[in-house]
């Protein structure tokens, strides 16, 4: 089973790369979307993603309980594509008592991924390349996403960083 992590900044090409890699497997795909349409701009982004994906892919929308969704939908002959982990983290950070929820959900995710019957492609925004944010919520987001990416990179077979639509393999088999 393959576990892949694709990191990159906004509009770096990470989602398109993940979708292309998923198509090339020839497996049935379950696309696990974590976004919430909180405003018109996010609704537009979600629509753009939906239009780009093959219509026969199964769509699962899960904003908080990601490990449960993965356990439910993993099976032989199926690839799971999660887009995006940092939106999932954002959803959790906006919950009351987010720290307890995050500790549980992150632990559950890290435990379930290596046991899944399906290969999985995880997409996330790399946020640690800029200046330290001024607000507490933003700093928590950058810190927690960075630690999540480090923990995931340890268990992934391949880690890819995308810049300007160009993938750079940081760990694992070359593309």
Active-site residues: which are they?
49
C-beta of residue 81 within 8 angstroms of C-beta of residue 31:
yes
Q: What are phi and psi of 88, to 5 degrees?
A: -60, -50
For 115-152, letters b (16+ CB in 10 Å) and e give ebebbbbbbbbbbeeeeeeeeeeeebbbebbeebbeeb
DSSP 133: P
């Amino acid at each position: 089973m393959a576990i892949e992590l694709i990191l990159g900044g906004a509009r770096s090409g990470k989602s398109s790369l993940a979708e292309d890699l998923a198509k090339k497997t020839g497996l049935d795909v379950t696309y696990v979307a974590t976004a919430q349409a909180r405003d018109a701009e996010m609704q537009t982004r979600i629509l753009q993603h939906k239009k780009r994906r093959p219509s026969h892919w199964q769509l699962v929308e899960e904003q908080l309980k990601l490990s449960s969704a993965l356990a439910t939908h993993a099976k032989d002959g199926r690839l799971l594509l999660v887009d995006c982990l940092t939106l999932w983290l954002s959803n959790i950070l906006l919950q009351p008592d987010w720290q307890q929820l995050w500790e549980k959900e992150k632990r559950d995710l890290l435990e379930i991924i290596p046991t899944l019957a399906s290969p999985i492609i995880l997409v996330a925004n790399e946020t640690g390349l800029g200046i330290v944010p001024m607000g507490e919520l933003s700093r928590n987001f950058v810190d927690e996403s960075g630690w999540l990416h480090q923990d995931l990179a340890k268990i992934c077979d391949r880690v890819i960083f995308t810049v300007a639509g160009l993938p750079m393999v940081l760990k694992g088999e070359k593309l």
